[in-house]
Amino acid sequence: MPHSSGRSGGPKPRRRNRRRGRRLKTVDETSAGGLVLDRLRGAAAIIGRLDRRGRLLWSLPKGHIEAGETAEQTAVREVAEETGIHSRVLRPLGSIDYWFVAEDRRVHKTVHHFLLEALGGELSDEDVEVTEVAWVPLGELDERLAYADERRLVRRAVDLLAGSELPDLVNAARTEFPVPRELSRERTAPRELSVPREMIDSGAGGHTAEDGAERA
């Protein structure tokens, strides 16, 4: 019997997979918040949120700009909602942006940050998105804040307020901005804070998609 020239017994050629991954819709989001300062103590109110791995990450309060709001109005509102502290805007600190993926969307978020002065209120973590809130001395924020870009904003604020000398910060702030009566009473002592050392990088400004989703 003559040999067949067919290749039925050999390996079949692989089909080329022409299916392409679904392209995510790209959206832009804008938020505002900032560094709210108790000038009597030289401390700032920051918020802690648990990430997906159960780590408590500390950051500056912020949130979405609502229809009809200016960025400054949003910063004041979000600080009050997330920390319980009433404040006023002193000046812009700068804007940061990052990317993350959430609900089948690729989100480009821009956050406008301001330097704010605390006028009254008490620390509160009643916001459902906030795990803890705390007053933290400005000199400790560089170690406590989880994100490098926010740490850079804090350094800028320190330079704006009192030059580059941290020991003179409180006195300089008291001289330039009198402390409101509401802040003259004793504050609750800052809580013991803990930030995973791996989150405190050497100054890199980038964020992974997961980082962005956690801080969104």
Q: What is the pLDDT of residues 76-106, one digit of tens each?
A: 999 999 999 999 999 999 999 999 888 888 9
pLDDT in tens, 106-154: 999 999 999 999 999 999 988 998 999 999 999 999 999 999 999 999 9
Q: Domain containing 109 — which CATH number? A: 3.90.79.10
Model-wide pTM > 0.75: no
* Beta strands 85-102; 62-64: pairing state: unpaired
Is 44 part of a structural domain of the chain? yes
Burial of 107 (0-12, 13-18, 19+ CB in 10 A): buried
- Structural domains of the chain, count: 1
Residue 50 has pLDDT above 60, yes or no: yes
Is 141 part of a structural domain of the chain? yes
DSSP helix/strand/coil, 38: strand
Is 19 part of a structural domain of the chain? no
Is 60 part of a structural domain of the chain? yes
CA torsion sign for 99, 96, 62, 48 is positive
Is 10 part of a structural domain of the chain? no
Range(s) of the domain holding residue 74: 25-215
* Higher per-residue pLDDT: 114 or 166: 114
* Cβ proximity of 38 and 46 under 8 Å: no
Is 14 part of a structural domain of the chain? no
Is 15 part of a structural domain of the chain? no
Structure confidence at residue 79 (pLDDT): 98
Residue 208 — very low, low, confident or very high, per pLDDT cuts 50/70/90? very low
* Cβ proximity of 38 and 180 under 8 Å: no
Residue 20 has pLDDT above 60, yes or no: no
